[in-house]
Amino acid sequence: MNVLLRIALSMFVCSVAIAEDAPKHTQALQGTWVLSHGVFSGKSLKQQLLKEGVGNLEVNFSDDVMTMSGGGSPDHTYQFTLDPATDPKSMQLVTIETRGKAPKGSKLRCIYKIDGKELTLCMPADSSVDPPKDFSAPEGSRLTFLVLARDAAGTAVAAKPIAEEDAKALQFANQALAALDAERLSMEAGAKAGLVSKTRIDELRSELFDARLILLRLQGDEAGITMLLQDEIKLEKARFERLKALASQGYVGAGKLREGELRLLSVQQQHALHERNQTKADEVLRRALEIEQQHLQRLESLSSQGVANRSVIAQHKLRIARLLADRQIETAECQ
């Protein structure tokens, strides 16, 4: 058979198979799905719903209509059409009613994936926002990323109840996050005017990360923690590469470069522990110990020449002791 004819036939068979997937996926979507984790423009959706006093988000599919609702908030309804031929698979929403959020008939291009009892969606805020290319909703994107679980037998996947003793911690974490976010906006405005350094903004972003992580842990949002750690690893990798480039040009010293790598390793270790990947956590910790021990040797050499003082060396030994203690704790927990 002619090669071109074979290719044409195989493409036809594939297109038929993909076309048949659309009704199967539509059937698989039918019913109610409940929010496990969500992000809007880089911020936790559950946190925003909590602040607004809205119950957990639910998404219902009935025939070709999708309805989004949250306890006490008006329902938003769309007609949906699936296109499994794209990569990632896409879904077109046509607005039926969004209570003034978008005109009737406006179209949104989303992406989706179904994995057993889990549905992942990523959608733009409105038709002026470019369709998502991957399953993320970074800061300023005006994209919404949703991980939804099947509401089987009426059992909703709701946010972890906040214990009474943790209520104050949750309040403080929210206040700290709001204050840090306001400071970040102020600093970014200052950076445009040349008044604030990129390094200081990076440091503040690290503080924001710590605050968001505490908040997600208080809320018991496991999927949110995973996504936050993954995003932070990307940020720290980019920051470390920038520091290496500046160091090669003589603009950044060895100390800043070392701190950048240790910060990256710290986030990678947290992610590995969260994913219960002890092998990766040990690998990262070994690298951190190697960096710290090499620096201790340099400090002790400088001390013998009268350059480094004993208190600096003592502080550094304490950092190594903490790393070694962490390693022992992690090993004991895994046994």
Instruction: Give residues with Cβ within 8 angstroms of 255, minimum separation 6.
Output: none
Three-state DSSP class for residue 236: helix
User: What's the whole-number mean pLDDT along residues 4-22?
Assistant: 44
Q: Is there a domain that residue 16 lies in? A: no
Q: Is there a domain that residue 77 lies in? A: yes
* 205 DSSP assignment: H
Please check whether residue 182 is in contact with residue 161, taking contact to mean a CB–CB distance below 8 angstroms. no
What pLDDT was estimated at residue 72?
A: 52
Q: Is the pLDDT of residue 92 over 50?
A: yes
User: Which residues span the domain enclosing 238?
Assistant: 221-335
pLDDT tens track for 293-330: 888 888 888 777 776 677 777 877 887 787 777 665 55
Please check whether residue 289 is in contact with residue 322, taking contact to mean a CB–CB distance below 8 angstroms. no
User: Do both 210 and 299 map to the same domain?
Assistant: no
Confidence band, pLDDT 50/70/90 cuts, at residue 111: very high
Q: Is the pLDDT of residue 20 over 70?
A: no
How many CA atoms, within 13 angstroms, populate the side-chain half-sphere of residue 112? Answer: 22
User: Do both 235 and 203 map to the same domain?
Assistant: no
Q: How many degrees, rounded to 5, is the angle at CA 264 between CA 258 and CA 268?
A: 140
What pLDDT was estimated at residue 2?
A: 47
pTM for the model:
0.51
Please check whether residue 35 is in contact with residue 146, taking contact to mean a CB–CB distance below 8 angstroms. yes
What radius of gyration, in Å, describes the C-alpha atoms of the chain? Answer: 25
pLDDT tens track for 191-233: 777 887 777 777 787 888 888 888 778 777 777 788 888 888 8
Poorest-pLDDT segment among 51-55, 188-192, 318-322, 328-332: 328-332
Confidence band, pLDDT 50/70/90 cuts, at residue 169: confident
Backbone phi, then psi, for 251, in 5-degree steps? Answer: -90, -20
Structural domain total, the chain = 3
CA distance 268 to 262: 10
Going by C-alpha positions, the residue among 242, 215, 212 that lies closest to residue 229 is 212
Confidence band, pLDDT 50/70/90 cuts, at residue 165: low
User: Do both 209 and 226 map to the same domain?
Assistant: no
Backbone phi, then psi, for 127, in 5-degree steps? Answer: -70, -10
Q: Is there a domain that residue 11 lies in? A: no
Q: Is the pLDDT of residue 155 over 80?
A: no
Q: Is there a domain that residue 320 lies in? A: yes
What pLDDT was estimated at residue 166?
A: 60
Please check whether residue 78 is in contact with residue 94, taking contact to mean a CB–CB distance below 8 angstroms. yes
Sign of the dihedral through C-alpha 86, 90, 95, 96: positive
